[in-house]
Amino acid sequence: MSIVSDNNVRRILDAALTLFGRHSFKRTSMADIAREAGVARATLYLRFADKRAVFEALADAVIDDALAGAEAAWRDDLTFAENLEATILAKDLRFFRLMRATPHGAELFDLDAELARAAATRLDAGFSAILVQRAEAAAKEGARIDAFGGPGAFASFLSVTAAGVKYETRTEADYLAAIRLLVRVTALAAGKPSPMEDTP
């Protein structure tokens, strides 16, 4: 059990994310992370053996936050399309902003092939499980999820397409507009069309 408080761990991870995005993983030192987090280097080393351990914990925290956000985004008072949009954005908008808004954001996703692959697999599996659950519930309410080949294929379609949008759009406005179009088309194909405002 670590004697470093949860509050300090969160500050360390937030500082690491800021610094990795601003200066790159390679150019950020443990001393930089401690200084940015406002903790002593000894405190940092009590919890994390090295910079890679910080990065691994950061990846886990970001994924946990993304999945928790995606799970919580679905609301009974929203349409099917609005819920799909909220769920996708809860998972991916932070990643999009990190990739586009910081000089070294995209580098973080390519930092370590093995770690990135494991993190991506966990994120994709968790998000797919959320979408399968939502698709099954929508099918019980009359959505034509079978038009996609069933709940698993629906989840796969939406996950892969949303990921493509995330990586191929350059501005946040374009990203948001593309996600909105994706969910409208998906809802229409599922027989759950709904009027939505044209503004992102």
Which pLDDT value is given to residue 104? 60
**pLDDT below 50 — which residues of the chain?**
1-2, 197-200
Which pLDDT value is given to residue 184? 96
How far from chain centre, in Å, is Cα 185? 22
Which pLDDT value is given to residue 62? 87
Which pLDDT value is given to residue 30? 97
Which pLDDT value is given to residue 83? 97
Which pLDDT value is given to residue 32? 97
Which pLDDT value is given to residue 103? 66
Helices 172-189 + 151-168 axis angle, to 10: 160
Dihedral sign from CA coordinates of 127, 123, 185, 147: negative
3-state percent helix, strand, coil for the chain, nearest multiple of 5: 75, 0, 25
